[in-house]
A = this chain, B = another copy of it.
Amino acid sequence: MNRKAIIGVMGPGEQATTNDLQNAYQLGYLIAQQGWVLLTGGRNVGVMEAASQGAKAAQGLTIGILPGNNTSGVSTAVDIAIVTDMGNARNNINVLSSDVVIACGMGAGTASEIALAIKSNKFVILLNDDLNSKDFFQKLAPKNIYIAHSVSDAITLTRNVLVNC
């Protein structure tokens, strides 16, 4: 295919930690630098906002898959806003549309995206400090889950997955 790879960065909105936000911004920046397209949940908070801003700082292309029925609350760093009006069910579109999913931080929405990604046999890279989540998801789907120890590690793992699939 000629289409560019789409990398989904999923993570908490309002509940994101400072560390999550720093990681998300760097992920977005490096994803754009690789020439990949960034996909997030599109809202102007948390990991979605930080990743999108990072990608734009590196002149990347950004997609936001919004839960509501219009573009209110979309990040100013989203180039392409997809308006789903599906609430949290849009999380399934997030993962199906991503060639690789990076989970940056943890929360209920993020956990649903990891689980839905596994269910559709996608590869998911976990970048967070939550040991329970790593134990749980790695045991649930050892072939689909990779653990990243840093942002650059997540980018390296993403590149490896893209090359092999």
User: Do A69 and B87 contact each other (CB < 8 Å), given the known contacts A80-B80, A115-B109, A136-B133?
Assistant: yes
User: Do A116 and B106 contact each other (CB < 8 Å), given the known contacts A96-B69, A96-B85?
Assistant: no
User: Do A132 and B141 contact each other (CB < 8 Å), given the known contacts A82-B65, A82-B82?
Assistant: no
A2 within 8 A of B: yes
How many monomers of this chain does the complex have? Answer: 4
Contact with B along A68-92 (1 / 0, CB 8 A): 0111000010111111111111011
Contacts of A109 in B (CB 8 A): 115, 119
For A115, give its contact among B3, B78, B111, B141 (CB under 8 Å).
Answer: B111
Interface centre among A70, A81, A119 (most CB of B within 10 A): A119
User: Do A97 and B119 contact each other (CB < 8 Å), given the known contacts A89-B86, A136-B136?
Assistant: no
Question: Which residues in chain A, 43-83, are within 8 Å of chain B measured between CB atoms?
Answer: 61, 63, 65, 69-71, 76, 78-83
A14 within 8 A of B: no
24 contacting pairs across A/B (C-beta < 8 A): A1-B71, A6-B81, A69-B87, A69-B120, A80-B80, A82-B93, A82-B97, A83-B97, A85-B87, A86-B86, A86-B87, A88-B92, A88-B116, A89-B89, A91-B116, A108-B118, A108-B141, A111-B111, A111-B140, A112-B115, A115-B115, A130-B139, A132-B135, A133-B136
